[in-house]
Structure 1
Amino acid sequence: MYNLLRNKIIRNINILLVFLISTCFFANTSTAQLRNSLNLPDNDDKWYHIGIVIMGTSNRFQISQHPRFLESDSVLVTNPNNNFGFGIGGMHTFRVSNRFEARVVFPQLLFVNKSINYHLRYPESSNQETEVMNQNVESILLGVPVQLKLKSDRIGNFRVYMMGGLKFETDLSSKANARNAENFVKLKKSDYGIEAGIGFNFYNKMFILSPEIKISNGISDVHARDANLKFSNVIDRIQSRQIIFSLIFEG
């Protein structure tokens, strides 16, 4: 009986050892397979990485009328239009923690066109006939957005994030100091504003592709008002409004 009991205990110990060894082997194999299935598994541990941004924009003005507008006998209505543009930039990302990253887009170049529709009364018309005149304002904006990015947990090769921050821009084609400017609204060179958006990280074998959409609103008044110009004196403040869709390629 003693020999039988001892053999049974030894057999149970052997079974337990086999089970533990098999479990450890399976766990190690599963971990290795999971890691092998991840693209760029060590990318999140980098303190800095660089990328390229390609942007498409929807642009418009936010207009506040001047009290002179009510006194105008030629300009009846001013309406901002939605226009499209594009841009490119360099993305610089710095790791702050497992959840947060700081980003700087520099340089950022946006080629945008904004326009205003003016409804004008014919100066010699007695029956209130009007015409519509479209005033285009073309800009080349050199900007430096500074953003803080909040990341979700990584699910396989996918992640969601939100971002927000400030932007600083200068208009390289500003006509604020131009003479003979009767045919356009003049804008100041500098602008600043706030940005907020959401994006998605898709981890590929060689890079991370991140489609992103954000709202970018100017805070400052960019209107260089000229009281002597009929297209300018009826407007008080002009602020920029943009919706930017970006494709970001990061290594």
Structure 2
Amino acid sequence: MQAINVRNKLHLHGKKVILVLLLFVGFAAQAQSFLWARKNNPYYDEKRKLTYGFLIGLHTTSYQIKYSDAFVTQLDTIFAVTPEWKPGFSLGFIVNYRVHDFVDLRLTPKVAFYEHSLLYRFTDGTSEKQLVETTMVEFPVLVKYKSMRRGNVRMYMIGGVKPGIEASGKKEIENVTNSLEVTAMNFNLEAGLGFDLYFPLFKFSPEVRFSRGIVNHLDNQENKYGLPLRYINTNTITVYLLFQ
């Protein structure tokens, strides 16, 4: 039964990843039509050292967990804990500084809305979900490496770090002793790629980025939901639409 559930989870996750990739491939195909069009904003990059804009992000995210020793030695009621992928979105601003013809330094402060879900399966055949909803203020600091511009298209790779802090303040108003608790801060490594598409009045950039948390996001191991776990980090796949 557990093997079937694992296969189902992988199948659903695979569908989401394929959907994200198809969306990005669609943008890439559209970019090809810009290669031979009349050159828009030919001096966009040369004239501007500092540019601004805004972004919209659509993501799918999941926890990655490690079991504690108590899960093996003390707990005889919990059969498994399974992370589930959940959608969300983010809104933010872009501050981009051109360091070199092919290198930019980019800051993208944003507000991101996350849902994380863990499915607890018990030995008596029942199950229970723990849904963790967070609103994070995040401050990605990124380095962008660009190719040569060809017509109205430029491909790029991007990577950096993303610190974040929870903004909702729900821990002050809720009794969380009977729920899964996570820390208010998170820190991620990010990597991705995208396309700059030059229009007459602006630049539009579809981008896909993978983010991996590198700190333990678990806050309280004392209640029944935290006891089986010793480590939680976050994995997120995001499609960004950037306008500059």
**TM-score in same-fold range (> 0.5):** yes
C-alpha distance in structure 1 between counterparts of 2:184 and 2:150, whole Å = 44
Alignment match of 2:141 (pick from 146, 149, 154): 146
In the alignment, which of 173, 185, 208 is matched to residue 190 of structure 1? 185
For 1:73 and 1:173, how far apart are their aligned partners in 2?
35
Question: Are residue 40 (structure 1) and residue 70 (structure 2) matched?
Answer: no
- Helix, strand or coil at the partner of 2:40: coil
Equivalent residue letter for 2:224: K
Letter in 2 for 1:74: T
- Find the aligned partners of 1:103 and 1:177 in 2 and give their Cα distance: 34
Amino acid at match of 1:38: K
- The corresponding residue for 1:115 is 117
1:235 partner letter = L
Indicate the SS of the match to 1:134: strand
Q: Paired residue for 1:226?
A: 221
Aligned equivalents of 1:155, 1:179: Cα separation in 2:
54
Residue of structure 2 equivalent to 1:124: none
Which consecutive segments of 4 or more residues in structure 1 shift more than 4 A?
Answer: 174-179
| Cα distance between partner residues in 2 of 1:117 and 1:149 | 38
Q: Is the alpha carbon distance of 1:72 and 1:174 closer, same or farther for their aligned partners in structure 2, counting shifts above 3 Å?
A: farther
Equivalent residue number for residue 207 of structure 1: 202
User: Counterpart amino acid of 1:233?
Assistant: L
- Structure 1 residue 238 corresponds to structure 2 residue 232: yes
Secondary structure at the counterpart of residue 45 of structure 2: helix
Tell me the distance in 1 between the aligned counterparts of 2:231 and 2:173. 19
Q: Matched residue of 2:182: which SS?
A: coil
Tell me by how many angstroms 1:172 deviates: 1.8
Q: How far is the alpha carbon of 1:173 from its aligned partner?
A: 3.0
Counting matched residue pairs gives 206
Any conservation in 1 of the 2:92–2:108 contact (CA below 8 Å)? yes
Offset from partner CA, 1:173-202 (integer Å, 9 cap, x none): 365677742442101111112100000011
The whole-number CA distance in structure 2 between the counterparts of 1:83 and 1:201 is 28
Question: Unaligned 5+ residue runs, structure 1?
Answer: 1-35, 122-128
Q: TM-score, normalization: structure 1?
A: 0.79
Equivalent position of 1:62 in the other structure: 64
Distance 2:77 2:231 in 1: 20
* Candidates 83, 92, 97, aligned match of 1:94: 97
For 1:95 and 1:159, how far apart are their aligned partners in 2? Answer: 15
Residue type at the aligned position of 2:236: Q
Distance 2:134 2:143 in 1: 27
CA distance in 2, matches of 1:120, 1:55: 36
Preserved contact between residue 209 and residue 248 of structure 1 (Cα < 8 Å): yes
| Counterpart among 152, 159, 162 of residue 167 in structure 1 | 162
Q: Report percent identity of matched pairs.
A: 28
In structure 2, the partner of 1:83 is 86
> RMSD over aligned Cα, in angstroms?
1.6
